[in-house]
């Protein structure tokens, strides 16, 4: 029997989640899920992709208040009635909508923690943001859709393939199920949990956030688990999927141990299977030269990781071989590609998805 095994809400985007035994379902997401978000002063969203230390902040909710606890022991109680009455322009992944800004005291609290001028924003009682493909469906500060379903069997399969120790919390799911076969969810179109019907919209494309250890906030080695997922969950565009985005047709309450009924099925998305051949690949050293600066590297870590370890900053965003921001010119040498899209025309490569195969020389991509 397929059942709900865990439920999570994340009151503030990118901060620690709260495990609950039951959750109230609305079109825009679980009650209290991602109702708050840290932003730039101009309203552009900020997440743990840029500031992993956000993952260390604990949250709790009571009535009209959200309680914050920093790893330093400092705490703060945020009253939703204290947000600005005006609605200000806000931006999340190309979605433009409005939200309310917290008091100066609250904004200073988070600015001091991040060492950067930021604001805390609240969506308000009525969500003004809409999902990309369903203009009538509201959504909170979640990346794209109100609900994210994860299958424990799929996670366990990934863990068997991945050399790094993983935590299912790295994937920030709302509804975690058990009792299904690995990746059975790929073929589901509509499901029912308790009395609530959910439509599965699309697989969830994963990014750098999944490579961060949720406890230490350190990056896992070799861009894991994206590297391993890329071997069997990468599509022909280089996007790496894990988990399913969903919308709810009706409101209600779902609980742990609720049975899941598959109402309608669909053809599963096709993925490229490209597991590397097993070899006795021992770590070898090489010389990495970037814009004339050379250092000792290895054939085990991505180029981006090794550049970062030597305090050589280059632009990046997804760390998954999707966005293309970490592109450089491979002037000399050879690399091993971790994804199909990692090596491009005119000697351009993605540093997040390539590993040195020999001594290499790199140059920035000139704009």
Q: Which of 98-112, 171-185, 323-337 has the lowest mean pLDDT?
A: 323-337
281 pLDDT more than 60: no
Within a domain: residue 328?
yes
Which of residues 231, 265, 299 is at a domain's end?
265
240 CB-near residues (< 8 Å, 6+ apart): 205, 206, 226, 229, 230, 233, 234, 320, 321, 322, 339
Residues 79 and 19 in one domain: yes
Residues 89 and 188 in one domain: no
Residues 114 and 26 in one domain: yes
Residues 232 and 341 in one domain: no
271 pLDDT more than 60: yes
pLDDT > 90: percent of the chain? 80
- List, for residues 29-48, the tens digit of each pLDDT value: 999 999 999 999 999 999 99
333 pLDDT more than 60: yes
The domain that contains 304 carries what CATH number? 3.10.20.30
363 pLDDT more than 80: yes
Within a domain: residue 7?
no
The domain that contains 156 carries what CATH number? 2.40.33.20
Within a domain: residue 234?
yes
Please give the helix or strand (H or E) that residue 309 lies within, else none.
helix 303-309
Residues 173 and 259 in one domain: yes
340 pLDDT more than 80: no
- Mean per-residue pLDDT over the chain, rounded: 93
Residues 324 and 356 in one domain: yes
260 pLDDT more than 80: yes
Per the structure, the complete domain to which residue 99 belongs is given by 12-122
- The CA radius of gyration of the chain, in Å to the nearest whole number, is 21
Which of residues 88, 122, 156 is at a domain's end?
122
- Cis? peptide before 308, omega within 30° of 0: no
Give the pLDDT score at 195.
96
341 pLDDT more than 90: no
Residues 252 and 290 in one domain: no
Within a domain: residue 188?
yes
Please give the helix or strand (H or E) that residue 355 lies within, else none.
strand 354-356
| CA nearest to 4, candidates 129, 245, 206, 177 | 177
Mean pLDDT in residue range 79-88: 95
Within a domain: residue 136?
no
Residues 65 and 161 in one domain: no
Give the pLDDT score at 325.
87
Taking the C-alpha atoms of residue 121 and residue 100, their distance in angstroms, rounded to an integer, is: 5
Within a domain: residue 270?
no
Mean pLDDT in residue range 290-316: 91
- Domain total in the chain: 3
| CA nearest to 342, candidates 245, 272, 246, 253 | 272
Cα distances from 179 to residues 112, 153, 203, 265, in angstroms, run 45, 8, 20, 17
279 pLDDT more than 90: no
């Amino acid at each position: 029997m397929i059942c709900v095994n865990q439920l999570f809400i994340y009151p503030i985007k990118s901060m620690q989640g709260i495990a609950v035994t039951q959750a109230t379902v609305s079109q825009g997401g679980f009650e209290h899920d991602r109702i708050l978000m840290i932003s730039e002063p101009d309203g552009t969203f900020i997440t743990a992709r840029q500031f992993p230390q956000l993952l260390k902040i604990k949250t709790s909710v009571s009535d009209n208040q959200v309680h914050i606890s920093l790893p330093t022991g400092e705490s703060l109680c945020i009253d939703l009635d204290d947000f600005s009455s005006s609605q200000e322009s806000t931006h999340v992944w190309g979605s433009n909508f409005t939200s309310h800004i917290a008091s100066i005291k609250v904004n200073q609290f988070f600015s001091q923690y991040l060492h950067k001028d930021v604001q805390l924003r609240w969506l308000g009682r009525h969500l003004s943001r809409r999902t990309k493909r369903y203009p009538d469906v509201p959504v909170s500060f979640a990346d794209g859709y109100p609900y994210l379903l994860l299958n424990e069997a799929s996670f366990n399969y990934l863990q068997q393939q991945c050399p790094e120790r993983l935590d299912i919390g790295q994937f920030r799911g709302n509804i975690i199920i058990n009792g299904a076969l690995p990746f059975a969810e790929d073929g589901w179109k509509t499901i029912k949990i308790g009395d609530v019907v959910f439509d599965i919209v699309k697989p969830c494309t994963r990014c750098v956030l999944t490579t961060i250890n949720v406890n230490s906030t350190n990056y896992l080695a070799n861009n894991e688990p994206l590297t391993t997922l890329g071997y069997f969950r990468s599509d022909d565009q280089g996007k790496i999927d894990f988990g399913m985005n969903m919308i709810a047709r009706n409101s209600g309450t779902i609980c742990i141990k609720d049975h899941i009924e598959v109402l309608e099925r669909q053809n599963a998305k096709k993925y490229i299977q490209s597991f590397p051949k097993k070899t006795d690949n021992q770590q070898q050293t090489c010389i990495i030269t970037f814009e004339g600066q050379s250092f000792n590297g290895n054939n085990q870590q991505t180029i981006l990781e090794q550049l970062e370890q030597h305090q050589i900053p280059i632009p990046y965003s997804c760390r998954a071989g999707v966005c293309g921001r970490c592109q450089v010119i491979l002037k000399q040498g050879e690399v091993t590609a971790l994804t199909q899209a990692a090596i491009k025309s005119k000697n351009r490569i993605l540093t997040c998805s390539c590993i040195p195969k020999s001594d290499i020389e790199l140059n920035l991509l000139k704009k």
